[in-house]
């Protein structure tokens, strides 16, 4: 059975995650952590939005091509 956080963190275990979090706390300090978390959250939202926009655009283009192909096909009566 895989650990809960194995997939999102590429197979890192709890000890490795704790060490990384402690190093981040030491490096940035407790006062900058909320700012850092906010900027990471904003970046993730922007990335998710851009990914969704690109996916929607590709789907629209594929639908347009599909509709063009269906219109060009001869219809038997």
pLDDT digits (tens, 9 = 90+) for 25-39: 898 888 898 898 899
Q: 72 is written with which tokens?
A: 């060009």
pLDDT tens digits, 16-69: 989 988 998 898 888 898 898 899 899 999 999 999 999 999 999 999 999 988
pLDDT at 59: 97
Of 23, 46, 43, residue with least CA distance to 33: 23
pLDDT at 1: 46
Statement: the pTM of the whole predicted model exceeds 0.85: no
**In the predicted structure, residue 76 carries a pLDDT above the cut 90:** no
Q: Which residues contact 9 (CB under 8 A, 6 or more apart)?
A: 16, 17
Radius of gyration for the chain, computed over Cα atoms and rounded to the nearest angstrom: 23
């Amino acid at each position: 059975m895989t650990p809960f956080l194995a997939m999102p963190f590429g197979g890192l275990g709890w000890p490795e995650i704790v060490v990384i979090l402690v190093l981040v706390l030491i490096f940035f300090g407790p006062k900058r952590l909320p700012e850092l978390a906010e900027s990471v959250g904003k970046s993730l939202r922007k990335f998710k939005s851009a990914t969704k926009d690109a996916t929607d655009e590709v789907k629209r283009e594929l639908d347009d091509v599909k509709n063009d192909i269906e219109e060009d096909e001869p219809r038997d009566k």
